[in-house]
Amino acid sequence: MDITTRALGDSGIEVSALGFGCWAIGGEWQDPAGQPLGWGPVDDEESVRAVRRALDLGVTFFDTADAYGTGHSERVLGRALGKRRDDVVIATKWGNVFDERTRTSTGSDDSPEHARRALTASLARLGTDRIDLYQLHISDADPERAARLRDTCEEFVREGLVRAYAWSTDDPERARVFAEGPHCAAVQHRCNVLQDAPDMLALCEELGLASINRSPLAMGLLGGGHGAGRRLSAGDIRSAPPAWLPGFGTGGGADPDWLARVDALRSVLTSGGRTPAQGALAWLWARSPHTVPIPGFRTVAQAEENAGALAHGPLAEAELAQVEHILRRAQDAG
């Protein structure tokens, strides 16, 4: 079995088993109260180099959103891909509303009219004539209104503007609503070794959907770079985490209990010469044949490390069982 590629449902679209998430390369942005929504400052030239390096290393799937950096991530990705656009699969998202001038998120809009406006704007920023996977970015949208948006996505497919679509949500029942559409190919949801998603993975197995895994490194905790006492910059969302972002405290650092679990897993995740990040990605591939993790990146070095996971492949069954045992023991102790 080829573990270097995965199918996006039954869309006929094939992607590398590893995608790259483009949230971080959007740079700094904020909510109306001034709370950070990005990962801190970025060097756009380094971002471009990192995207191109990922391409050279076999990564063909890039996931962004119109809201990331209030449009900036899409612009950087489009510039980085340039003439190699046809070599990759681009996923982006819509549903959030923002002010590019002030780099501020201003709310959300679940109307079909906004979906069309957002799609037109994303196509322009990315410099392309179609989106390969278009994803609803309002995770808790009303299911009935979302069904209308699913039908709108079918219109986009008929017009040749979109090839397939998905919902970015952690709720399997909401994902099921979108999956009723003929061209729904995936669901994007949180999944990592510290935050498993068995119900969503079961849904993807049942319906033949790709499981696109956001936060595969638990917002960086599984990357091995967060030690006790490390503080994050003020422009980093993890320095003042919203309620939906566990694992980080209000003091700007990682939660000690989460770090303890990462330490307990280190030896099995680094088996076979893997780095901690590569081991965390390998766990996801072993967890289900439908998974496509999309770790974030800001530098060429991060791109090289993440792409290096492809050469190692998934964890062995015995290693997967060992992870489960370690986590169960930690849960019992807690």
DSSP string of 185-219? EEEEEE-BTTB--HHHHHHHHHHT-EEEEESTTTT
pLDDT at 224: 75
d(CA 265, CA 168): 28
- Here the tokens at position 291 are 């998974």
The one-character DSSP state at 254 is B
d(CA 135, CA 146): 11
Instruction: Show the domain range for 137.
Output: 5-333
d(CA 181, CA 165): 9
d(CA 198, CA 191): 9
Q: Which residue(s) pair with 167 in the sheet?
A: 136, 187
The pTM of this model reads 0.96
d(CA 307, CA 52): 12
Q: How far is Cα of residue 309 from the mean position of the Cα atoms in its chain?
A: 16
- Here the tokens at position 182 are 């003929």
Tokens 């994007």 belong to 188
Low-confidence ranges of the chain (pLDDT < 70): 1-2, 226-231, 250-252, 334
pLDDT in tens, 251-304: 667 888 899 999 999 999 999 999 999 999 999 999 999 999 999 999 999 999
Given a contact cutoff of 8 angstroms between Cβ atoms, the answer to whether 65 and 96 are in contact is yes
Indicate the pairing of strand 96-99 with strand 104-108. Answer: antiparallel
d(CA 48, CA 41): 15
What is the number of other CB atoms lying within 10 angstroms of the CB of residue 241? 20
pLDDT at 1: 43
CATH code, domain carrying 117: 3.20.20.100
pLDDT at 245: 86
Please count the structural domains in the chain. Answer: 1
